[in-house]
Each structure stands twice: as C-alpha cells, then as structure tokens.
Amino acid sequence: MGATSGAIATPHHRATAAGRAALDAGGNAIDAALAAAAVLAVVYPHNTGVGGDLVALVHSPDGEMHAVNATGWAPAAASRDRALAEHGEAIPRRGAAAVTVPGAVRGWEALAHLGARLSRRDHLRDAVTAARDGVAVSASLALCLAGEWATLTDPSFRTTFGGREDGPLRRGDLLRQPRLADTLDELARSGYGSFYAGALAERLVTALAARGSEVMAADFAEFAVDSAAPLARDWRGMRVHTLGPNTQGFALLRTALAVESDSAPDPLRIARLFAEGNLLRDTRLGDPRRTRVDVRALIEDAVDLAEPELVPDPRLARGDTIGVAAADAEGWAVSLVQSQFHLFGSGVHDAETGVLFHNRGYSFVLDDEHAPGVLAPRARPAHTLMPVLVTDPGGGVRFVQATMGGKAQAQIHAHLLLHLARGATASETVSAPRWTLGPYAPGDRSDAVYAEADVEDAVVQRLHDAGHPIVTVPPLTEMLGHANVVRRTATGFDAAADPRSDGAASVS
C-alpha cells in the first residue's frame, strides 16, 4: 500500500508521529487515530489510558457519520443506597469505588471494525515500544504528577511513576511501563476483546476486587459499545455533528444555534448560553438507556437560571482527556476523545497489568434518587466527553475538532467553531485566547469566568461589568484545554495542535 494523504493533530508529538506512520503505511484516518490513541495511553497517563473511556465520530467516504460511545457502565451490583451509606453524598474521587468498566479498548475495537486497513499489531506497535523502552516525561505529565502526588497513594502507582527522593518523576525523566507493554502486546495478539473476557480480564477484575470494587467478570464481558445515531443540526450552511446523551454534546449545539445569525456574538450572550449548558448538564443529563432524556428540550428549551452561588466542591476534572483529530484525502475523518476523567483517574494502578483505572463513577449522583445521573446498576454516568465533526451541505468534511477541558469541553468547542466559521486557520483557532464559565476551585461562584490574560480587554470588561467574577490565568494555560483541529481546504488540509499541550500536527 502506498502512503495516504491526510492530516492528524494530537496533544503529544509521539502520538502524532505514530498516526503519521499509519498514514504512510497506507492506513486511513481511522488507522492514524487508533495508533495515536494507543501511544497517548502510554505517554499521557494523567489524561488517558486503556483503563479509561472513549467516544468518537467517524466520517466515511460515502458521507455517512458513525458514532462510537464507549463510555463504561457501573457494576450490575451497584446500589445507590449502599453507596450513600458507605460514602455519604458523593463517591470518593480516588479509589476503586469510582471505577466503572473501562470502555476505551472496546472503543478501539469498534473503530477498527468501521474501516481500518491496518492490523492491531500495526495500531499498537508504537505504543508497545513506548511502554517497554520508556519515554521522556513531558512538561504536562511532570506538572500534573507534581501537583497530584500527595493524593496518589496506591503503592503500584508510586512504584511506576515515582522518581528521586520518594517524589514523582520529573520532566525529562524516563517513564517505563513494562507491564503495560505486556498488556498492549496481549491485545495485539489476542484481540481487543481479551481486555473484557479471558485471562487478562480476570486479572483486571481481581485487581479491582482486591481494592473493594463491586465490578464483576460479567460486567466486563457483557459491556458493549453504544452506536446510537450522532446528534446533528444544520448551522450557517454547514452541519455540526456530535454525540447525544449520556454526553454533553447538546450544549455545543444549544450555543451554536442560539448565535447562528450573529457574526460577532455578544460575550454576555455566550456566557448565558454557557451557564445554561452547565445547568442542564448537571441537572438533566443521564444515561438514556436508564432514564428519559429529552434531547430536543436540552437544545431548544428556555432555561431559568438561578442566582449564582458559591460552589464548595466543583467536582471538575483538569487535564482529564485527550483529543485526536484526523482526516484523509479519501474522505475518512475521525474525532476521537479518550479520558481518565480526573488527573490519573481513580489512582488505582494494577502492578500486574500496568493498567491505571479511570474514575468516571465519581460523576454519579448519590444525594438525589430521582436525578437522571443517579447511580444505578449498569448505568453510564453523565459524560463530559464529546467529539465534533462539521460537514458541508454535500456531506464532505469541513472541520474535525477534538479537545480536552473537563466540563468546559462544550464551551471550548463553541469557541473553536466560531473561530473556524469566521475563516480562521487551524493554528489561529487553537492558539486564540480562551475563556470559560464555571467554577474550577472550591469557593468559586457558579458564574465565575476563567479568562486567559490575553483575552480581549473589551470582552473581559463586559463580563466583569455584568457581575461575573473574573479569574485571570496565564495565556495558553492547559487549564483551559488542549484542542486539536483539522480543517479541509481547497488544496488539501490545514491542521494544528494546541500550544497548551506537548502536541504536534502533521499534514501531507
């Protein structure tokens, strides 16, 4: 096979190189995204891993849009009443109680079945090498290890990620994960399904049970990807595609449609829409397989905002996620988002398999038995992850967007979309000064605005004058997300990785 013309952008240069190699080997955008996602599961463990979740949108050359929702479910034995009695009003952020069945590897399997050309061995080769031979600790990983080290007490985690003088690895240190390499090698040999049934799955369930998890072998073996139709709306002569519940994709469409006719939307209008999206996500979003979720109402209904309040614990994830954007000349395109949720997820690390488990169960509601997002057997928590693809009227790809940013992902996507619609390049789009609405620290108000220092003065002043507390953060801070964009042009592709990350883009 000859090389495939295309583009890929990721938050780590090693992942971008793996995706580029897949295209050079004759693979398509799916192959590139899978190779990149696997490497990111090794080099960016604070954000993603095989123990996390995945969502994706795939555009095929025939113009069809395919959704992959690989967000894991709670154990069949889960009980809201029991969890409430044991933990109080919230599931702990760290520990096995926050672990739901990891969906990422099932997501890789589903993506491969949609049209990948290369083999599993091809997809995982660079990831296995990175885990076995080691990689230099990146700036983002080093910063997050230092900031979270005191909360990460799992002995296996500390052995793997510890460095000198009982502290964490530092920037430039070599991170080796030989057991994770063995696990990835097993997936390459036996198939992605071996993560969910068989000897490897038994080891994972045993490791979780030893730490008090209620997850059983059947919870792993019976887990399946949800391929419900994408959520999409026409907008400014294009069509914006994302995922429906249990994800917050609706919030992007709500914002975009409300400012469809505004060439330069008022920041106050945007802020209100962001606030509405936050409120709807936190009060009405759940797993549609377990509770009724009215998608039309989430996008279109008026919302009465309560008075802003102080938030004692905003329960936000920072550095939680990776986004991969890829497209090729044949018409394949992929927006892939993969996550540990909070930094390093649950902090539960299995020494035998090298798997670090996410903490998506932390999002379940315990204090309101009637809430859509309440903990229930085999329920999926309300999810922040949301891929985005934008097509033209003929069905061709216009933009591929993918970002991290916790609960602010829908807001970051709105900023990206508005920049791209105005004709900004990929680099201009991901580098533009960014602001988001919502609490990041205990004691923040619900209407707090976090704005990078180089956000336009007039925008900040307008928000301030309207009563929004303004928290100024440094320019290009990863606190406000790593976004990656591929843009189709008249002559090919334009792509960029967010300068807030350790990433890179490649175009050919």
Residues forming the active site: 321
Instruction: Output the CA–CA distances (angstroms, integers) from residue 58 to 109, 177, 246, 365, in the order listed.
Output: 13, 31, 18, 31
Dihedral over Cα of 399, 405, 409, 413: its sign: negative
Q: Give me the long-range contacts of 153-161 (CB less than 8 A, separation at least 24).
A: 153/94, 153/347, 154/347, 154/348, 154/349, 155/351, 156/349, 156/350, 156/351, 157/344, 157/347, 157/348, 157/349, 157/356, 159/351, 160/349, 160/351, 160/354, 161/45
| Strand, coil or helix: 294 | coil
DSSP string, 415-470: HHHHHHHTT--HHHHHHS--EEES--STTEETT-EEEETTS-HHHHHHHHHTT--E
Compute φ and ψ for 425, nearest 5 degrees: -75, 170
Angle at 235 between CA 232 and CA 240, to 5 degrees: 35
Provide CB contacts within 8 A for 381, sequence distance 6+. 71, 74, 100, 246, 287, 360, 361, 362, 363, 364, 373
Helix 178-190 vs helix 29-43: crossing angle, to nearest 10: 150
Whole-angstrom distance, CA of residue 181 vs CA of residue 190: 14
Tell me the residue ranges of DSSP E strands in 200-295.
231-235, 238-242
DSSP 168: B
Half-sphere exposure of 413 (CA within 13 A, CB side): 36
Rounded CA-CA distance 269/238 in Å is: 22
How many CA within 13 A on the CB side of residue 170?
A: 4
